[in-house]
Amino acid sequence: MKAPSPPCADPANKKLLATLQGKAHWPPPLWLMRQAGRYLPEFKAIRAKADFMTRCLTPDMAVELTLQPIKRYGMDGAILFSDILILPWALGQDLHFEEGRGPVLPPLRHEEDFRALDPARVAERTAPVREAITRLARELATTTTTLLGFAGAPFTVSCYMIEGGGSRDFAAVRRMMIKRPDLYAQLIEMLINATADMLSEQINAGAQAVMLFDSWAGILPPNDFRRWVIEPTRRIRALLKQRHPTVPVIGFPRLGGVMTGEYAQNTGVDTVSLDTSTDPLKILPLLSPHQGVQGNLDPQLLLNGGAPMVKAAQALAETLRGRSHVFNLGHGVSQFTPVEHVAELVEAVRSLSA
């Protein structure tokens, strides 16, 4: 299928930004988590030239990778090509990525490990990220595409920092919460302030909205969810609103389940992004009138494409019609997704009838 043409360039009509600010549009604007990724042949070509950290920290590469899905599909949102673990690296924790394993960090287990972290380093070490955003903002200024910055939320970032990488249950993190709550609280406090500062700098560089990814929020029981997911996000959002009152904040409490409504109510995020397992109709009554919803098509439907995907996309959009809704997935695009399926999805959403 031929990729749809980008919408007509009109800098006064960034539909995604207006939706994140509380307006309803039909058809809804769309972008996809991991829309710049290994399913794209042009992405693979750059991936063959440089490792992951080099791609994140080389502005030329980060800009090109961010724009690839915009050039191909005309997405309404361009999310910075980077990673949530750039912050721990900027704080001073070593980081590299291994094929088949993912991120690898020296685990934080003792007080001296935490004392080695230095928030004063972050601004200097993330300068290439800000340069990429500045270039992207200039590139997208006369288009209808909204530029999105992002960061990992403190709980999820702490999981990788303490565990030393990915995990099924992040047992070391839970153990620290129980046995050294003082030490864990210090880390979260550091991450709250460093994350707010980093996102604020992304906004200063040109990001028009920002997103907080709390990918592992769903592993926590309710009281811990309130303390380590909701409260840090509430504080980051409050700090950002003090500095940038009109810039929308998207929150993604992945696998939050029944806690997602409480998250939306108590964090105050402008838009709550829903994972695949969440029924939007259960969440809508729990939102304020001006809070938006992002999501949440199953990435497996996109992977397989065809009539089932189109039917599900149409049904999801109709379910949220009249609400500020950003069409997206409930998680990221699979690396095995055919590019034609993404084009088919974009066309299906864009061609929804009035």
Question: What CATH number corresponds to the domain at position 197?
Answer: 3.20.20.210
The confidence score (pLDDT) of residue 353 equals 82
Residue 78 lies inside a defined structural domain of this protein: yes
Residue 36 in marked binding region: yes
Burial class for 179, CB neighbours closer than 10 Å (0-12, 13-18, 19+): exposed
- What is d(CA 301, CA 313) in angstroms, rounded to the nearest whole number? 9
The confidence score (pLDDT) of residue 3 equals 43
Burial class for 318, CB neighbours closer than 10 Å (0-12, 13-18, 19+): exposed
Which tokens belong to 59?
């502005």
Mean pLDDT by 10 residues, the chain (354 residues): 44 86 96 97 96 96 98 98 97 91 92 94 97 98 97 98 92 95 96 98 98 97 98 98 98 95 97 96 91 97 98 97 97 97 98 84
Query: CB of 63 within 8 A of CB of 130?
Result: no
Residue 34 lies inside a defined structural domain of this protein: yes
Only one residue has tokens 């080389």, namely 58
- What is d(CA 329, CA 31) in angstroms, rounded to the nearest whole number? 8
Q: How far is CA 313 from CA 28, 204, 213, 346, in A?
A: 11, 35, 23, 10
Strands (E), the chain: 77-79, 96-98, 102-104, 146-152, 209-214, 249-253, 271-273, 292-297, 325-329
- What is d(CA 61, CA 36) in angstroms, rounded to the nearest whole number? 12
Give catalytic status of residue 60 as yes or no.
no
The confidence score (pLDDT) of residue 7 equals 42
Query: What domain count does the chain have?
Result: 1
Residue 43 lies inside a defined structural domain of this protein: yes
Residue 4 lies inside a defined structural domain of this protein: no
Residue 37 in marked binding region: yes
Residue 144 lies inside a defined structural domain of this protein: yes
Residue 155 lies inside a defined structural domain of this protein: yes
The confidence score (pLDDT) of residue 4 equals 46
Give catalytic status of residue 184 as yes or no.
no
In sequence order, the 6+-apart residues with CB closer than 8 A to the CB of 18 are 25
Give catalytic status of residue 72 as yes or no.
no
Give catalytic status of residue 160 as yes or no.
yes
The confidence score (pLDDT) of residue 8 equals 43
Residue 10 lies inside a defined structural domain of this protein: no
Active-site pick, 39, 72, 76, 83: 83
Give catalytic status of residue 38 as yes or no.
yes
Q: Measured over all CA atoms, what is the biggest interatomic distance in the chain, rounded to whole angstroms? A: 61
Region of 186 on the Ramachandran plot (φ > 0 left; ψ -120 to 50 alpha; else beta): alpha
- What is d(CA 253, CA 283) in angstroms, rounded to the nearest whole number? 13
Which domain, by its residues, includes 146? 15-350
- Closest C-alpha among 286, 270, 288, 267 to residue 278: 286
Residue 124 lies inside a defined structural domain of this protein: yes
Residue 34 in marked binding region: yes
